[in-house]
Structure 1
């Protein structure tokens, strides 16, 4: 799937802003909610652990600053497309893409 990276395939650049910098793994289903029944019924543990994006620290911090509620992230922003559809995230990614590595 294009909107989620298997953890073993690390891209050369951030999957959001496309900057070629050091990357971190952003879980599209945040680890804090992995034990909640709703998510256990929807996803396997392996899917929750592996579904995510390799993104730069600037984008990773931006996501969690803009949407600090991890349950909201898991319920409403569980794909790359949904994250980018959020006006604040889209603005942040556009700004981040112009920053130096």
Structure 2
């Protein structure tokens, strides 16, 4: 299996990402690396995600996420590092 965002092979840990946020009734999920999943949620609010970035193609076209994909593509499938909120530049806590 591969990550639906960065297209690298999935590692040991895999997370399910809702293409439409659950708060907006989303049920369909796609597999993602934990770091890829975190990046989406630190770069976009659920409302932004719902309005304009609820497809894989749209997400991959987002400037900040595209830059992240270019960087993470060179990493091992199980690589993980804290993901920073693009607005505050602080590490976002896990929920």
Do they fold alike, i.e. is TM over 0.5? yes
Q: Which has the larger radius of gyration?
A: 1
Structure 1 segments unaligned to the other structure (5+ residues) = 1-11, 35-47
- Which digits, 9 at most, give the CA deviation of each residue in 1:51-84, with x for residues without a partner? x3211001000111111x1011011101000001
Q: In the aligned structure 2, how far is the partner of 1:54 from the partner of 1:87?
A: 21
Match of 2:68 among 72, 87, 92: 92
The answer to which structure has the higher helix fraction is 1
Structure 2 segments unaligned to the other structure (5+ residues) = 79-95
TM-score after normalising by structure 2: 0.71
- Point out 4+ residue stretches in structure 1 off by more than 6 angstroms: none
Q: Secondary structure at the match of 1:26?
A: strand
How many residue pairs get matched? Answer: 75
TM-score after normalising by structure 1: 0.67
